[in-house]
Structure 1
């Protein structure tokens, strides 16, 4: 839903707020909720799938770098102005601050990746697999671009993609269960458990926030 959709849903329930208030709530509390979601999710996989996506910020093109593991779980995103070796190296180093060295890296044939990898000592012994970007072979990363595109359309463009997507990705995936690999009963049970944990996090009053 867009922020205006949420504004209208709250109005239906007797809560009068503007969509800008909803945006402020997301900015204020989103990072806290995203950290709680990351703390309880399972250990990430050992394969990184990396890909880039062009987005517009205030009418100017930017590159959103994204990494997911072999299970399709989003690991991290980084918004940068360029799509070159320096940008790729910065993304590699950001990833290594949060995750252990992977066993394998999968990217398209952008030459910035191997050039940047050669300058990061921790990745010297990591296997690097290249796929053709036009063949849509790197589906793990490309599929994770789709929710971003939908949100970009619904929000009529991003005001701050880095801040929003850093929080949006983990929270969305907390509820995005692999239904095709689960029975209906298992899906309902796991969804109830995740909703219960979400309510525990969001109902509690954040420290230092007045009622």
Structure 2
């Protein structure tokens, strides 16, 4: 396993500070200015703009490294989609969660049809290399079409009440969306 760099050339702060700021941003529902205040409380004067740049530069790399170390997901997956407005346009955020609430994969797409569901299933399986025993979805019929073509041997249940695990997984995204809307209005 490769060791973490102690410093990043061209950056003033050590790698631990950069990783901690990125972790705070992506794990908790905090704004960049909140993270700036948390770091200032610890004696580190970092601009929120620096934290934003760190998240853009190193966020995907750090997330990929964490994803590799996570344990194998359970055999029951909950799938759901929710709409988001991004720059005034409507998009759908597709999310897969295992029975313990661990997010398996997320995909943003413009459509909510069978082709989009198949694309999400294929991406999910390519990233995890495991097949579930059972998937649970809401009543969207696109899941059934995609399940028959991509996950033919997997049991499929549709129930809006059994899918609460996936619905609850959307809550932090919704909270962050509401917070960003408040910041734009003020």
Alignment TM class, shorter chain as reference: 0.7 to 0.9
How do 1:146-157 residues align onto structure 2 when only pairs under 5 Å count?
146-156=171-181
How do 1:43-54 residues align onto structure 2 when only pairs under 5 Å count?
43-54=72-83
1:109 equivalenced with 2:148 (yes/no): no
Normalising to structure 2: TM-score of the pair?
Answer: 0.74
CA–CA separation in structure 1 for the residues paired with 2:67 and 2:46: 32
Aligned to 1:86: 115
Aligned to 1:28: 57
CA–CA separation in structure 1 for the residues paired with 2:62 and 2:175: 21
- Assess if the C-alpha contact under 8 Å between 2:136 and 2:162 holds in 1: no
Q: Deviations over 1:30-85 (max 9, x none)?
A: 11221222222221111110001111111111100000111111000000001111
Normalising to structure 1: TM-score of the pair?
Answer: 0.66
Q: Going by fraction, where is helix more abundant, 1 or 2?
A: 1
Unmatched segments (≥5 aa) in structure 1:
158-211
- Assess if the C-alpha contact under 8 Å between 1:69 and 1:75 holds in 2: yes
Aligned to 1:183: none
Unmatched segments (≥5 aa) in structure 2:
1-29
CA–CA separation in structure 2 for the residues paired with 1:140 and 1:116: 21
Greater RCO, CA 8 A, separation 6+: 1
Figure out how many residues of one structure are paired with residues of the other and give that number.
Answer: 151
